[in-house]
């Protein structure tokens, strides 16, 4: 029997799911995804995610300030987040990080929010869910410099050396739809050879669909396509990859403690 899967990154609160959110969650369950982490992007999304996770036991919230939504943040939100982390059942601080790919996002302001949220995560003994686009080298250095952290770099797209630098400090790689594209040769090579204990599966739905669903709205049920691809790349059984990645997720996010 196939072990249950964990989707470690899905934005189920997104408006893309407004019409059929419950059906999407049900399809995920039928596909064997029995646990999903729902990261926030700004302070306005926190109550929405809290309410959603309260209605569905298989959903777990993460609260953070995403670098791409910089215009929605004010410094006081970090202090408010600290209070949320004190009182709510968050499994991580996220989605946080740096994005130097998008034009017009103030780099210094991004660094400010990233640093403050890393301090919050360390103070609350929570893992971090990190966005690093066009900024992976700086993100890695910041994580190493801050110290005392654990977490995942979601939608990893860096080099073998950058991956090794993250493993050295105990960070996981979040792997989703992009690995299913044959042209993603470097990513596929990393996934084929990486230490299994640092591998997590994710959908990033509604974004980043697998190759078979290019251009469509993504959803968490399709983590099974990522699983299939990863198993093929590693010449391993889907059962073994499912068991290992789910155990990794449960350990990192303290999910067994959440369910006890």
The predicted pLDDT at position 3 comes to 84
Q: Which residues in the chain come in under a pLDDT of 70?
A: 257-260
First-to-final CA distance of the chain = 24
The predicted pLDDT at position 16 comes to 98
pTM of the model: 0.97
**CATH value at residue 51:** 3.20.20.140
The predicted pLDDT at position 235 comes to 98
Question: Per the structure, how many domains does the chain have?
Answer: 1
The predicted pLDDT at position 218 comes to 98
Q: Name the DSSP class of 68.
A: G
166-175: pLDDT as tens digits? 999 999 999 9
Residue 194: domain span: 5-259
The predicted pLDDT at position 2 comes to 78
User: Residue 216 and residue 213: Cα distance in Å, rounded?
Assistant: 6
Residue ranges of alpha helices (H) inside the chain are 21-30, 45-55, 76-87, 107-123, 136-146, 160-168, 185-193, 223-234, 238-253, 255-259
CA angle 156, 164, 90 (to 5 degrees): 50
The predicted pLDDT at position 259 comes to 55
């Amino acid at each position: 029997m196939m072990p249950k899967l964990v989707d470690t990154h899905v934005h189920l609160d997104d408006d893309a799911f407004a019409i059929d959110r419950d059906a999407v969650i049900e399809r995920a369950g039928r596909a064997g995804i029995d646990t999903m982490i729902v990261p926030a992007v700004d302070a306005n999304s926190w109550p929405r995610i809290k309410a959603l996770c309260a209605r569905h036991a298989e959903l777990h919230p993460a609260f953070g300030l995403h670098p791409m939504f910089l215009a929605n943040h004010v410094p006081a939100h970090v202090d408010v987040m600290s209070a949320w982390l004190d009182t709510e059942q968050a499994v991580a601080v996220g989605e946080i990080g740096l994005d130097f790919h998008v034009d017009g996002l103030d780099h210094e302001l991004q660094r400010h929010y990233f640093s403050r949220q890393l301090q919050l995560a360390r103070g609350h003994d929570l893992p971090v869910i990190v966005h690093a686009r066009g900024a992976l080298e700086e993100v890695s250095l910041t994580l190493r410099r801050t110290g005392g952290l654990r977490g995942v770099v979601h939608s990893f797209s860096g080099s073998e050396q950058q991956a090794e630098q993250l493993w050295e400090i105990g960070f996981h790689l979040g792997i989703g739809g992009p690995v299913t594209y044959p042209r993603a040769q470097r990513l596929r090579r990393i996934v084929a050879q990486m230490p299994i204990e640092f591998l997590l599966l994710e959908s990033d739905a509604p974004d980043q669909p697998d190759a078979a669903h290019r251009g469509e709205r993504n959803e968490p049920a399709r983590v099974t396509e990522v699983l299939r691809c990863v198993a093929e790349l590693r010449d391993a059984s889907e059962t073994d990859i499912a068991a290992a990645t789910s155990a990794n997720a449960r350990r990192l996010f303290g999910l067994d403690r959440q369910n006890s």
